[in-house]
Amino acid sequence: MSLRQSMAGLHTWGGLLPSWLLYVIIFTGTVACFDKELERWMRPALHDDSSAQLTAEGARNWVMANADKDLHAIWMRGPNEREPFWAVHWMTNAGEQGKAMLDPATGAPLAETLGGQFFFTLHYNLHADTLGMYVVGLAGMFMLVALVSGVIIHRRIFKDFFTLRPRANGQRAWLDAHNLFGVVGFPFHLLLAYTGVVVFVASYMPAGGQVAYGNDQEAYFTEVTGSYHREEVGRPAPPAVSLDGLLRDAQARWTGAQPGWIVIEHPLDASAVVAIRRADASRIGDLGGTLSYDAATGELLHVQEQPPFYRAYSWMVGLHMAQFGGTLVRALYLMLGLAGCAMVVAGTRVWLRKREARAVPGVALVRALDGAVYLGLPVASLALLWANRLLPAELPWRASGEGWTFVIAWLAVALWSALARHHWRLALRSQLVLIGLLALGLPLLSLLAAPNGHLLAALPRGDWGLVGVDLALLAIGLIALIQAWRLNPDPVARPARRAPGRLEEAL
């Protein structure tokens, strides 16, 4: 077997198996380009401009008063343009975690919702914590292998750039589409798959810490990131110095740069440290410069200096996270992410079209999985947004209600696709109509449920974050309906224009 043939087999099967998982990861990552805009869209309390009253001091006091008494660490982030609220997270010594989003105007917790964060978390750990993080990492490795083997089997990478024959027979057209989206998006997909697995390198590849630090995690993290850590001393903490004063001091030292996350380590112990991280959206990677203060005296203990290759790591993580360059960069990431979804979808369609006529085992399964995942996830995501708008804000279980709506909607589409696998064109058409109606309905529903956030209210205000989400929903709805209308429910098989070559035979 030649190298190209063996790589073709690897590309076909190593690409097919993780297809549906990769689609979930790429789709949610694409949505997460605008997770912060979606977060605000899902929190109508933040739709009108309100002046920030809650200070860092107030946010800390809220945690000290409302969290468990056994606090190990607090993470807080103040309001900024895209996220106009206080986010506070905490962890107890027993390892229990809590979080709240505080309204900057009133200081009270915002109404429960999963928020845009839901898609981001689904993207990197499938809401399955450590296990999910490893599964996503393995999927990333499969993607890298599929991308590289895809290039090796590609004879005419330049020519395929300009080749799309939508009227050719099904397999040829899907292969063209797979090649087009794969080739156009290739540098981006390679970069994002690689930087994606790099994010959790400390978990995925512990060899460096084990060999060079004798498996001492604390020493490893502190030295590699150039950060500061102080052990607990077991005495109660004296009264803390004002956090707002520390923030002013930090901004003065950074000559004006804004603070990002504030971390308070063991706030109830005399060794408490306040670490203030720098937020700089003009740079790709985190530049470091985190300032660590003694929580009681306000004395500056340490200024973070990233070692050069940790800075390279930060840069790669920054490239993945797309928090630089503003809306333009995020919109570009969104388009290339959609190209990634299209590449994955077209890839499984090539596999299917090649085998449909021969009744190969697995065709029905692949077809059912296609419907269940490729259409189930968008339907479930839209259903989640509907639940957000329909469930009253006061409801204590609003967030879990949204989650259950997502799960049930997805299961329903999956079941539908499995049952209708022999009438899959009809099912596909109905599911596209469903996506169209759900997407078009949301901006209308907002007219009733989000009095300050719907299009007619946000547009005159020039609130492009909210307007953008609604316009995207309208566009998705229209495209889905047009596709449903164009989809031929009863196609006449067209004869192949030419005999497939040997390489295509191997695919």
Partner 1 sequence: MDMTLQTRRLSVASRVLAALVGGYGLAYGCTAFLSVYLPLARPDRVALAGLLCFAVWVVGALYAFGARSATRAWLVIGGLALLTGLCGFLPTELRTRP
- Residues in the site for partner 1, rule: CB under 8 A? 3, 6-7, 9-10, 141, 144-145, 148-149, 152, 194, 197-198, 201-202, 204-205, 207-214, 220, 223-224, 226, 307-310, 312-313, 316
Q: Of 44 and 209, which CB lies nearer to partner 1 in the complex structure?
A: 209
Q: For residue 276, is it left (φ>0), alpha (ψ between -120 and 50) or beta?
A: beta
State how far the alpha carbon of 9 is from the alpha carbons of 54, 156, 459, 505, in Å.
59, 18, 52, 10
Report the nearest approach of partner 1 to the CB of residue 347 (Å).
18
Write out the E strands in 20-179: 71-77, 86-92, 97-102
> Residue 165: how many CB atoms within 10 A of its CB?
12
Report the nearest approach of partner 1 to the CB of residue 356 (Å).
24
Element holding 293 (H helix, E strand): strand 291-294
Q: Of 94 and 207, which CB lies nearer to partner 1 in the complex structure?
A: 207
Report the nearest approach of partner 1 to the CB of residue 10 (Å).
4
**Are 413 and 379 in contact, with CB atoms under 8 Å apart?**
yes
Q: Of 233 and 360, which CB lies nearer to partner 1 in the complex structure?
A: 360
Q: Of 171 and 314, which CB lies nearer to partner 1 in the complex structure?
A: 314
Q: Of 201 and 444, which CB lies nearer to partner 1 in the complex structure?
A: 201
Report the nearest approach of partner 1 to the CB of residue 101 (Å).
33
Report the nearest approach of partner 1 to the CB of residue 198 (Å).
6
Question: Which residue do the tokens 């360059």 mark?
Answer: 325
Q: How far apart are CA 59 and CA 54, in angstroms?
A: 7
- For residue 331 the two structure tokens come to 């919109």
Q: What is the DSSP letter of 371?
A: I
Report the nearest approach of partner 1 to the CB of residue 504 (Å).
19
- For residue 164 the two structure tokens come to 């799309």
Report the nearest approach of partner 1 to the CB of residue 216 (Å).
9
Q: Of 29 and 196, which CB lies nearer to partner 1 in the complex structure?
A: 196
Q: Of 16 and 295, which CB lies nearer to partner 1 in the complex structure?
A: 16
Identify any residues that bridge with 303 across adjacent strands, giving them in sequence order.
291
Closest CA to 337 of 90, 123, 151, 50: 123
Q: Of 313 and 410, which CB lies nearer to partner 1 in the complex structure?
A: 313
Q: Of 219 and 257, which CB lies nearer to partner 1 in the complex structure?
A: 219
Q: Which residues of 97-112 are buried (b: 16+ CB within 10 A; e: fewer)?
A: eeebbbbbbeeebbbb
Q: How far apart are CA 73 and CA 89, in angstroms?
A: 8
Q: What is the DSSP string of 196-224?
A: HHHHTHHHH-THHHHHHSTT-HHHHHHHH
Report the nearest approach of partner 1 to the CB of residue 331 (Å).
28
Report the nearest approach of partner 1 to the CB of residue 362 (Å).
16
Question: Which residue do the tokens 């928090």 mark?
Answer: 323
Closest CA to 401 of 2, 19, 42, 15: 42
